[in-house]
Structure 1
Amino acid sequence: MSNSVATDIAKRAAIAARAVAPLTETEKNAVLQRMADAIRKHQADILAVNEKDMAAGREKQLSEAMLDRLQLNAERIEGMATAIEEIIALADPVGERMPLTTRPNGIEVEKMRIPLGVICMIYEARPNVTADAGALCFKSGNAVILRCGREAIESSKAIAAALHEALRDSGLPEDVIAVVPTPDRELMLDLLQQHEHIDLVIPRGGEGLIHFVSDNSKIPVIQHYKGVCHLYVDKDADIEKALALLLNGKTHRTGVCNALEGLLVDEAIAAEFLPKAAQALQEKGVTVHCDQASAKYFDNADVIADDAFGEEYLALEIAVRTVAGFEGALAHIQAFGSGHTEVIATENEATAQRFIREVDSAVTMWNASSRFSDGGQLGLGAEIGISTSKLHAYGPMGLQALTTEKFVVTGNGQTRA
């Protein structure tokens, strides 16, 4: 039975995608404004449902990081509405043409951006993904299937109900933003087999979820297993800047993938920087795991083995290592980074540019907090996810990443000899 349910959801989404693809930018923006207005209008309803999800989450003893992702409040709901309005302000990539060449026989060759079609979002305790994914997929001309985890499914349904109201008021089918009615795993497995109707799967959640989806899908999957982000404090760093980057990256919000999980310090500056870092981290209640060389600068630090780095704590915890200059930092990142975001603190432009070129990561930063590794902060509007695989997108995914390109050839009756 579940297979027929999954097939029906996927087929209806594919049909709905045809209703979105031809809409003009002006038409899509009008619908998006209705979506933002509907979320604000139904704030009280959404919060009431979310509190029930939160109560159930506490009863199940979800981690603090998971509960933080699950919780909604007036500010976060306004953030969802504002993110949709930021998407309205972005240029629509659909239909954009890129001239390539005019061939000797006179045919003109271009590329044109087109929607992917149907995108399936699979996510856990992240109800805001419902609004972000719905709006981004809609603006880029796609339909989306939303499969939320058990922890946040009722909150997700409440948000989707507001989006559906906007679609109905605009004369569009609700299946443009389809909602899987149950978190049943068998139904999710069946969705992952619908390669005839679904074009891309984007999982957002823990490493286990991403592995499960990647291992079981017949549809291409955007992968982001975890966010092990590092700050490397170079010998030429400004100490105060580096401390600010450390504290913001680690303590601003811990349960997110762009939070710092590792601190690497050039041995040439360790004696100057690490005592100050130790005091600042202690004041914020951060637990420190470190190598033997760094331990002398910390009280009650947990000394870990060289192969124990690379953890995604998602808590007030951080791994600290003293490294032998740039090469030592690069080697550590290559061994323990997750391809998400890496930051260098330095006043040496040549070193910074080398870091940017040589570090294999979706986002590299110079003297900026890892917390900026976010679609909204990077000017993409709300992001639909962060890809740490390189096909077909890499890094925070906005509107353009939800399109593909086709060739357009214009001739005047030319035939091939």
Structure 2
Amino acid sequence: MFATVHAVDESRHRAAVRESSPVAAAYANRARALARDIEADARPIGMTAEGEALSAALPAWIARPDTGLHPLLAAADVLAAALDEHKAQDRRDAVAAQNTLLALHLAFVVVLLLLLGGLALVVWRRIILPLTDLETHLGSISLGTSPATRITHHPTPWLGGVLGQAEHTLQVLKQSQHQAHKDREALRTDAAASEGLRCILNAQHAPGPGVRAHGRVQSAEGVIAGDFLDTLALPGGITVLLQGDVAGHGTDAGLLAVRVKSAVVAALHLTPEARTAAAAAWTVIAPEDERFTTLVIAVLDPARRCLSWLSAGHEIALLRHGDGTVEELEPTGPVIGPFLTTPKDVWDVRQSPLAPGDLIVLATDGLTEARDRTGTMLGRTAVADAVARAGDDPADVVDALYRASAHHDADWNRDDITILAATLTIPDTP
């Protein structure tokens, strides 16, 4: 509006227009349009009167710009002052609103901090502390120490179920630790007992004069075999070779083998009568036991150059003579088991001449029944051939027979293999 008024003054001054002449139509129309716009803009902000006063002063200025300018400027000043006051009020309102918003933000932040603090406290008491307690108990359990107290924090319903299960698990772990400790002690005890049983089954005493002997037990399972052997030196210069094979293998067979061997050895120490020793073996087998045992007792008498033997269904009993021929010492009676009603007159005792250099070989059925991958057994013939080709030293003979089993690609986990060899070393007198 003021730019239009200024433009009118400039144009009138250049044209030397008389002061009483009206404003040119173009400027007048522009001024009216601007006045309408100002009035329309002033109405929404509550300045209707100021806008109407400006519009009312405009016709006088258009008609006589020299005298009507001052009322127009006065109305414009009133409108401008009102606008300035309105702007100032808007600024004050904006500042107040900003302060209110800031206060709300601060209040929100404080409330949020309080909520977070409360949440952190609740989490600390209901989650962190119980989990720390659980961690402490688990650490104690893992170190092998049992905590004296139970889990002390039981929040409900936050971690109640979890900690209940954890406490149950801790109790199970405690019991497992206790049981594991007992099991370790039992294993140490069982290991010592197993080693003691193995020593009993494998024990070989020194033979009597004029006899050299060697034997070995190869267990199929663990350290305890169902086979046993021994060499006893008895009064009168007699040497007894003893070997047995309890059906099966493993701990149960080994325990029965220990009882059978102990009974036979005890009987032989009382009397070198093979039938009495076999009867003693029969007495330790319970009637309800399904197991049985083979047994061979070979009595070497160097003074009489005589070999006596009792074979209760034993697999291998061979006598190799000095000329290299191998004689099979046949069984002299049935195996020993609960099916026998009485041991009287069940087994015979047979004799054979024995010369220096002759070799006696006893072996369990684990040797002859050793199977290769196709299921083919080693067999009696192969064992007899290996004995015929073996050297004179009993240890070499035992090693040769184990090598024959290994070359046959035998599965040594199938059955126990026990071999005992002895030779007469006293030369013939001239």
If the TM-score is normalised by the length of the shorter chain, which range does it land in? under 0.3
Relative to the length of structure 1, the TM-score reads 0.22
| Richer in helix (by share) | 2
Higher relative contact order (CA 8 A, sep 6+): 1
Query: Comparing both structures, which one devotes a greater share of its residues to strand?
Result: 1
